[in-house]
A and B are shown apart, each in its own frame.
Chain A
């Protein structure tokens, strides 16, 4: 079995959000998206920490974006999910789906 990294629950959410946001994924946007979608109150430092871990694991790629006025002329680091990141999301989803299929629980949308 090849060596693979595991994702924590929060890391998974951040990674999903990164891929969901497409070209607009950076610290603040990721945080806002997560807060909106999950109803949690996540702080920037948590997001940055998770992104940092994902970078270390090679799940995301990043580039420095253009400077913006609202940031006092500072650039933002833009994130995209890497191939490995996408692959692991797929795997997680696949495993979950299989397990879902084995249960009699109905997804929320069907209730």
Chain B
């Protein structure tokens, strides 16, 4: 009983001490004790016990729990302490300038990179999402299987398919067909009722169903979306092209002459579209409703076209939650109903696939078709999810490397800071004060880095936009995902970079630290080693990848593909001709005049440009070495100078000759063709000579007489294997390729232009360098390589900054040791090696770890290319040596300094 009197229930007392604000504890606990004693004597221990317990529980209420402002255990709302943290942090930053600069620079670069990458990735991932109905829109594609073997998916489908589907499938709300204009080479003339005529030859036009604007959400700045496409002579312009045609004034009501289906017609502008966003996979300058040519076609012609022409990309909008598989099956049946007989005859199995609009942008498998003289490629933008994926990884890597640098430098500085912590504790700071101080410092550095990163991006944005053509804007920084992510990154950064010093340094006991012989525990330098390896592994892997990517790019660009294009210029044949002239007379006249120039070696007419595909696919049933099935050989018409201009030699048979007849004559009318060696192999001929003089028949019954065989060449990029191609004879065509024999390119171009302008004053001269067009196919790879290069450069910079900081601090720490060693006779060389050895060893370990990672990633990447470099050891060794060299320079900067210092300077003040 006596004990009970002395001690009211301990747990309740403990609870009280826990909950009660310290400044109230004395009076409350005192009152409680007094009352306990009083009750104990008056009503006995039981009553006293329960009274005590209930009263303690009763104190769980705000007034008793809430702490007073001056309570030093609540520093967050203690402004005096906050100010103190701020001042201390600033002092620390100012005092260790090298350290702070390294930290800030590293974090700023890391943040800026990851921000940019995040913005890019968001833009790419958000491609086509601006369409309100994006979840309902599907692209209809046909998947073919020939003899149950080769599978191909293509999105250019029959004209009649959309209508047939809509008639039988109730879930199909709407459909629209898009056709990149076949006669896209223009010219297009803009004018205001005959005044202020301007001619253009680079207009990307699409011809669409009137439903186009109700399926897609391309916003109209001017004009009525419901009626804009309802008249046959309507044309919609995008802002950019309207600006070029009519200047700043509203173009609605103005007139654009456009050569649709060959014959120039006048169109009235009915709407102005906002510029098409970069992340739209449908790209165009003008839109023309297909009413225009539908009205001009006879019923029979329409019928023939419905299941005969297959150059229409068809989009459908489908009621949400429909059974897509069922719809696909019905579609397949409909197609079968119309062309099934034909397909079966050729052993082709065709099924319909609905491709969600969301997936279309990143779809690189589906064949878009080459119709429209390359215009499908010009009006379609396809994303590369591989780049997006690689970039995401790189973004994370740069950020992590920057944070690792910070943590690493914090650990090495722990000795300097330990004394400070000791003094602070002696003068009354408790552990949480110290922790808050370190977190505050981390927050300050991280915040400054964040601001600097944004400023840096703002400063670089024009350059980045000019380089990437992506239209980055700072407004993205206000978007929710960005704020959430980088708010999160900031907090994570503060926690990660503040945690080590806050948790470890704050635990130092003042007596140990201040006694003088304190050294930080050995385990910590192991952490440091692990972090350095962790940092350098991705950096070296990135370096290897960059080297490989550039090597491959270089290989592709330099690869001899069989065409000689360095001195070639391609111009478009004139279409706006003077009175009394037609194409047939104009084109030869132009060729004759140009050939007369001394700077021109030869001139050839072709139907397509190298690097932009070939327009006419012909399907052949082949039965060659182990390969049976349908093979496609594409082709176009060229004149007799073709081989000469492109530097191709005839390896068998005869070339085209001027004025020759297109076909073999007689009853059969068999087209004479020149083919490449791959085509010869495709058709199963053993030798080139065997093919010459043979007649081959395509699936539609068309016949071709092989006149000659051209040495093998690639008409398109080396991403793909060399394709079989064939060319038939046309004396003139829509593209004219000129081979110059002069180094003075500009001057000879001017000469050609003046001839053109003289002959065709109404037309506009439009030229492209042939190899620029061809190399344009590698633009994306080039961008990929540059992105890789830039970011691996930045990441090695960040890592080097960290390493520099580390070596600077360790060297400074060992300055006395170095002094003694020198006194005892060590050479500069020896000391530099001593101080650098460890870092270089770590970089080497990182290299060993990085190699297999880079090898796997790059082996995977190289599979995108039919023609690719071998993955040899060279790029690995080069990158490893490069990284090591950079590390050596970084480290020896300080170590060399230390080694050459006069030992007296470091040893005199002991």
Contact = CB atoms under 8 A, between A and B. Distances in A.
B26 A48 contact: no
A45 B33 contact: no
Contacts of A68: 30, 34
B31 A70 contact: no
B63 A74 contact: no
A101 B35 CA distance: 41
Contacts of B28: 27, 44, 48
A28 B31 contact: yes
Contacts of A45: 55-56, 58-59, 61, 64
Interface string B490-502: 0000000000000
Contact of B30 (A31, A49, A53, A75): A75
Interface string B227-245: 0000000000000000000
B902 to A, nearest CB: 65
A31 B55 CA distance: 12
A77 B32 CA distance: 13
Contacts of A40: none
Given A27-B28, A48-B64, A49-B63, A43 B58 contact: yes
Contact of B31 (A26, A46, A49, A64): A26
Question: Chain A: interface secondary structure?
Answer: helix
Nearest to B63: A52
Interface string B510-540: 0000000000000000000000000000000
A43 B30 contact: no
A72 B33 contact: yes
Interface string B32-55: 111101100000000000010011
B: interface residue count bin: 20 to 34
A70 B51 CA distance: 17
Contacts of A52: 63-64
Given A45-B58, A48-B59, A72 B35 contact: no
B30 A71 contact: yes
Interface in B539-577: none
Contacts of B63: 48-49, 52-53
Contact of A46 (B30, B37, B38, B58): B58
B43 to A, nearest CB: 12
A24 interface: no
A31 B54 CA distance: 15
B31 A48 contact: yes
Contacts of A64: 26-27
Contact of A44 (B37, B55, B61): B55
B55 A76 contact: no
A70 B37 contact: yes
Interface of B: 26-35, 37-38, 51, 54-56, 58-59, 61, 63-64
24 contacts: A26-B27, A27-B30, A28-B38, A43-B54, A44-B31, A44-B35, A44-B55, A45-B56, A45-B58, A45-B59, A45-B64, A46-B58, A49-B63, A52-B64, A68-B30, A70-B33, A70-B37, A72-B30, A74-B27, A74-B29, A74-B30, A75-B26, A76-B30, A76-B31
Given A26-B27, A28-B38, A75-B30, 11 more contacts: A26-B31, A27-B27, A28-B31, A44-B32, A45-B59, A49-B63, A68-B34, A70-B33, A71-B34, A74-B29, A76-B34
